[in-house]
């Protein structure tokens, strides 16, 4: 009960009066459209992806996020399109977020070995709170718990607003890098006072290196991802080893404080890809959060060879 009360108070203080932050995912490349809108349409064929994350289940299942996305290359518009739906539930349903995003990316082939792709994203966002489950500081008695009526006045339990983002990626046969800026207009998502959603800045870099000349189906992929939003910053350093249909990944996430060690297992069978990851909490919350579980599933649809050839990005699937 104490843990649940702590997390509810934290959620209320950040969502109603201060600044919000975006959900995070540990399988970065299994949720590419969330990482960078420039990834829309980068597969050879249309792609459907679903992701589920349960963060800190030891604290009353406080953060549950799901996404579903679809993207494809469209030769007629010389680019890719993508659609992503997101649902985020925080504090056992105290704060709920629903998003629908639409993306367009354009690819420019600089030379035979290097291409650039830019992406634009427009998002419709709805945030809502369950007023009946809210707990404010003036409701709590030091000895008896929650016994008082709050004096806080909530103008609305629902907030709807548009949001816009931009991203760019550059890539060659074995290396790739990119950056993205989400929430370009820094929208107001507050319910009581003005609560500006800070811009989220992402910079990522990686490579896919064949393990040896004799083992073409085995590769090693080192990666670095840096993200910053408001007062929060984090850096993710990790690598993948891929052998045939199996992929193993390990990441270390560190920010304002130590955060987590991430283990990832991915399996690719025919046109299906399945991934599971677990975050081992190494911060001061170790032993209380229950870590974080994440599952991804994607399906690549059959398609005919492209009339207009474009370079695809060689990067991890999870």
- For 269-285, the pLDDT digits (tens) are 999 999 999 999 887 66
Share the mean pLDDT of the chain: 85
pLDDT value at 35 more than 90: yes
pLDDT for position 14: 41
Which positions ≥6 away from 241 have C-beta within 8 Å? 211, 218, 219, 220, 221, 247, 248, 249
pLDDT at residue 13, as a whole number: 41
Mean pLDDT of 17-36: 85
Burial 290-317 (b: 16+ CB within 10 A, else e): bbbebbbebebeeeeeeeeebbebbbbb
What is d(CA 99, CA 292) in angstroms, rounded to the nearest whole number?
22
Query: What is the architecture, at CATH level 2, of domain 2-300?
Result: Beta Barrel (2.40)
Max distance between CA atoms of the chain, in angstroms, equals 72
pLDDT at 6 over 60: no
User: What digits encode the pLDDT tens for the residues 15-26?
Assistant: 344 446 899 999
Q: How confident is the model at residue 193 (pLDDT cuts 50, 70, 90)?
A: confident
Residue 241, strand partner residues: 220, 248
pLDDT in tens, 93-123: 788 999 999 999 999 888 888 999 999 999 9
Cα–Cα distance measured from residue 27 to residue 53, given in angstroms and rounded to the nearest whole number: 10
For residue 5, the model assigns a pLDDT of 43
Q: What percent of the chain has pLDDT over 90?
A: 56
What whole-number distance in Å separates Cα of residue 188 and Cα of residue 180? 20
| Cα(54)–Cα(65) distance, integer angstroms | 7
CA distances from 32 to 45, 138, 171, 275 (A): 15, 42, 15, 14
Q: What is the pLDDT of residue 85?
A: 98
Rounded Cα–Cα distance for residues 135 and 137 (Å): 7
Both tokens of 131, joined, read 């007023």
Mean pLDDT of the 49-70 span? 89
Q: What is the mean pLDDT of residues 181-201?
A: 89
Rounded alpha-carbon distances, angstroms, from residue 199 to 12, 81, 85, 171, 174: 20, 23, 20, 25, 30
Q: What is the pLDDT of residue 154?
A: 65
Instruction: Identify whether the C-beta of residue 184 lies closer than 8 Å to the C-beta of residue 167.
Output: no
Dihedral (C-alpha) 46, 241, 269, 113: value to the nearest 10 degrees? 30
* 192 vs 109, more confident: 109
pLDDT at 212 > cutoff 80: no
Domain boundaries, the chain: 2-300
Beta bridge partners of 152: none
What pLDDT is stored for residue 243 in this prediction?
92
* pLDDT above 50 (res 1): no
- Measured between alpha carbons, how far is 217 from 244 in angstroms, rounded to an integer? 5
What pLDDT band is residue 152 in, cutting at 50, 70 and 90?
low
| Statement: residue 129 has pLDDT above 90 | no
Query: Which element (helix H / strand E) includes 243?
Result: strand 232-243
Q: What is the mean pLDDT of residues 133-148?
A: 68
Q: How confident is the model at residue 12 (pLDDT cuts 50, 70, 90)?
A: very low
């Amino acid at each position: 009960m104490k843990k649940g009360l702590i997390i509810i108070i934290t959620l209320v203080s950040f969502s109603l009066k201060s600044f919000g932050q975006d959900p995070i995912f540990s399988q970065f490349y299994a949720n590419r459209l969330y990482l960078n809108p420039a990834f829309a349409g980068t597969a050879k064929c249309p792609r459907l992806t679903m992701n589920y994350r349960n963060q800190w289940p030891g604290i009353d299942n406080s953060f549950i996020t799901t996404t579903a996305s679809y993207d494809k290359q469209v030769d007629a518009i010389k680019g890719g399109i993508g659609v992503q739906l997101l649902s985020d539930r925080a504090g056992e349903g105290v704060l709920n977020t629903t998003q629908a995003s639409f993306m367009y990316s354009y690819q420019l082939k600089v030379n035979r070995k290097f291409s650039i792709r830019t992406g634009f994203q427009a998002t419709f966002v709805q945030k809502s709170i369950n007023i009946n489950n809210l707990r404010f500081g003036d409701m709590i008695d030091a000895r008896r718990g929650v016994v008082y009526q709050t004096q806080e006045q909530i103008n609305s339990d629902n907030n709807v607003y548009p949001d816009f983002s931009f991203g760019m990626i550059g890539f060659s046969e074995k290396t790739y890098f990119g950056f993205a800026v989400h929430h370009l207009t820094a929208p107001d998502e507050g319910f009581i006072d003005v609560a500006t959603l800070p811009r989220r800045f992402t910079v990522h870099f990686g490579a896919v290196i064949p393990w040896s000349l004799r083992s073409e189906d085995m590769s090693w992929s080192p990666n670095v991802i840096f993200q910053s939003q408001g007062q929060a910053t984090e850096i993710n350093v990790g690598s993948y080893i891929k052998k045939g249909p199996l992929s193993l990944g390990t990441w270390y996430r560190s920010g304002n404080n130590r955060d987590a060690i991430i283990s990832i297992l991915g399996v690719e069978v025919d046109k299906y890809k399945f991934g599971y990851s677990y975050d081992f909490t190494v911060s001061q919350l170790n032993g209380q959060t229950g870590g974080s579980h994440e599952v991804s599933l994607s399906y690549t649809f059959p398609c005919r060879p492209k009339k207009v050839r474009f370079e695809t990005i060689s990067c991890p699937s999870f």
